[in-house]
Structure 1
């Protein structure tokens, strides 16, 4: 029995030793933590009552490539003619009438370009209103109106340049574009069935 008591006492002493070691090292780390905490508290700026910002990790967006569907225009563009085609057709018809071809002037092209854009935005002819009030709306272009005797010829709905010329030829007043020998200079812009011819002498 003495051996058994000795064995029990040995286990008790081992247990006490382990508890003692844990207590000593545990309190030491507690004390070290307390001291470190005290030091870090001393390094903090004084509390001003305003909460300090918290830095949160930002999520990172990941782009996943996808195929972009191609948009197909199901209505075919039947207007395949433009300004150069109409310019050529007008000068050809002028030659047929025995009058001079129009010579291009860049300042007339400025007016033709502006007018075509106005008509395209409007979606219809404006009865030359935009042409007649342009010197008031665009004082920077008034000098062109002062320098030349200008005329404007409009067309819409033609399916080709030759059809546009035919519409002008068969409309009272517009035939002058084709047989008027007084016109020396001109410029023609056309798009989406609209045509604008500006002529001058």
Structure 2
């Protein structure tokens, strides 16, 4: 079984959240949205990121989807502060040095704000004097906060990050906070 979940902002990517100080995190978890047991996330999304999270009860599939050796491309819609040009984006296409590692070359392009976008709660901070732009970024790795670090490195901080796709699985037709169960693996 495969579950495609359109994760909202501020949701923790696990079924239970534990803060050693008080036993709670104060954030909703997957358990608040997915009433299905014995499924596990294939990869993660930060609490402040949104979009596609794949869950499955198939350990082999979970490994294939989350292991960078299998090169499943992840597609992100990224709202950044500022108005980058194609020249500004070139370092991302070459790979950028993030101090602890150098990223693999990314596929990057400027896009219009996605039509299927839902409002974020709370909304992002916007400054009247600074425009924002949308990028589509495709990467085959997925290290901790990688996309955010990549855009910051080239001078365009990420304001909103939405994972649109993992391989051929997408959030198309799945409302934010909702999930869809797929019985068969798409080849």
The TM-score, its normalising length taken from structure 2, stands at 0.23
* Bigger helix fraction: 1
RCO higher in structure (CA 8 A, sep ≥6) = 2
Greater C-alpha Rg: 1
TM-score by length of 1: 0.22
